[in-house]
């Protein structure tokens, strides 16, 4: 596993230079997620292929009752606008802080890349799309789980507005702490994959990714990126370099 605890997704190391800040400093571009010469990582591709073969694309993650809802800690980045946070991004952080102070009235989500019609959606636009509420279990790689209720727009509904091209295979997400990650179209179009703006019946709290986070219910917790600012659809796998997790040894696909 990792020899430096600071590199766990839950407590990310300070990201030097690169990525996030430069907007779209995505490096590399290939067919499938690489394993970076890590022998153990070969299992990732096997796991990915096996899960994709064995699970029907639409099989749902288990959903729970209201009475199952438990306390959920906010971990990793809990305020991208806090300059004291070790994940503070000098370009994006102040932008986030300004948006938060304005109650996210000016927050916009850009969906671009391999799409017929790039769109920019505000919070109210997202709330006018189809709405889904689900009570699911979040599993963190650090060993804890928690059950919470999430409300949001199915990612599928937001993507549909932008009309992904026929060759589109991956959906990349950029967050206000500079993190970038991606999922494949199977997860992107899954009915439980949400752009969540509500948690346990309230607006998504700051620590949990306000105003909008991703929920990817059939993968490990670090795939549910918080503080989403931009979506980039791509025909090929894009390695986000230092802004991503895979170069630190974390699996790109981590199905649960």
Ligand X SMILES: Nc1nc2c(c(=O)[nH]1)N[C@H]1C(S)=C(S)[C@@H](COP(=O)(O)O)O[C@H]1N2
Residues that bind ligand X (CB under 6 A): 9-10, 12, 72-77, 140, 175, 177, 179, 207-208, 221-222, 224-227
- Residue 29: CB minimum distance to Mo ion, A: 27
* Residue whose CB is less far from Mo ion, 44 or 119: 44
Binding test (CB under 5 A) with Mo ion, winner from 123, 140, 216, 245: 140
* Residue whose CB is less far from Mo ion, 133 or 145: 145
C-alpha closest to that of 214 among 256, 253, 156: 156
- Residue 124: CB minimum distance to ligand X, A: 23
* Residue whose CB is less far from ligand X, 12 or 100: 12
Please tell me the total number of residues recorded for the chain in this structure. 256
C-alpha closest to that of 170 among 63, 28, 16: 28
- Residue 170: CB minimum distance to ligand X, A: 18
- The residues in 196-255 that bind Mo ion, with binding defined as CB under 5 A, are 221-222
- Residue 56: CB minimum distance to ligand X, A: 26
Residue number of the CB closest to Mo ion reads: 140
φ, ψ of residue 111 in degrees (nearest 5): -115, 115
Residue number of the CB closest to ligand X reads: 76
* Residue whose CB is less far from Mo ion, 97 or 142: 142
Distance CA 113, CA 99 (A): 24
* Residue whose CB is less far from ligand X, 104 or 227: 227
162 binds, among Mo ion, ligand X, none (CB under 5 to 8 A by kind): none
Count of chain residues binding Mo ion (CB under 5 A): 5
- Residue-by-residue DSSP string for 191-246: TT-EEEEEETTEEPPGGGTTT-EEE-TTB-GGGS-SSEEEEEEESSEEE-GGGSSG
C-alpha closest to that of 23 among 232, 225, 233, 169: 232
- Residue 76: CB minimum distance to Mo ion, A: 6
* Residue whose CB is less far from ligand X, 169 or 223: 223
Distance CA 90, CA 10 (A): 20
113 binds, among Mo ion, ligand X, none (CB under 5 to 8 A by kind): none
- Residue 163: CB minimum distance to ligand X, A: 27
Distance CA 54, CA 43 (A): 16
Interface with Mo ion, residue 10, by CB under 5 A? yes
DSSP summary character for residue 96: H
C-alpha distances in angstroms, 82 versus 5, 105, 139?
21, 20, 26
């Amino acid at each position: 596993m990792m020899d430096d605890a600071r590199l766990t997704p839950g407590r990310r190391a300070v990201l030097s230079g690169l990525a996030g800040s430069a907007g779209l400093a995505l490096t590399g571009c290939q067919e499938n997620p690489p394993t970076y010469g890590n022998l153990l990582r070969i299992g990732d591709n096997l796991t990915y292929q096996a899960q994709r073969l064995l699970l029907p694309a639409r099989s749902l993650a288990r959903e729970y009752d209201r009475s199952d809802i438990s306390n959920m800690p906010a971990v990793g980045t809990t305020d991208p606008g806090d300059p004291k946070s070790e994940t503070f991004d000098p370009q994006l952080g102040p932008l986030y802080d300004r948006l938060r102070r304005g109650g996210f009235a000016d927050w916009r989500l850009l969906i671009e890349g391999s799409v017929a019609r790039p769109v920019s959606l505000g919070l109210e636009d997202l709330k006018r799309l189809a709405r889904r509420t689900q009570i699911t279990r979040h599993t963190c790689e650090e060993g804890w789980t928690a059950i919470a209720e999430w409300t949001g727009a199915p990612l599928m509904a937001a993507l549909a507005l932008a009309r992904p091209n026929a060759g589109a295979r991956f959906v990349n997400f950029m967050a206000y702490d500079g993190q970038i990650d991606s999922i494949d179209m199977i997860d992107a179009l899954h009915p439980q994959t949400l752009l969540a703006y509500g948690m346990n019946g309230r607006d998504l709290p700051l620590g949990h990714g306000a105003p909008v986070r991703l929920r990817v219910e059939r993968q490990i917790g670090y795939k549910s990126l918080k503080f989403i600012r931009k979506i980039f659809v791509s025909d090929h796998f894009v390695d986000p370099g230092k802004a991503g997790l895979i170069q630190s040894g974390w699996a790109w696909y981590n199905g649960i």
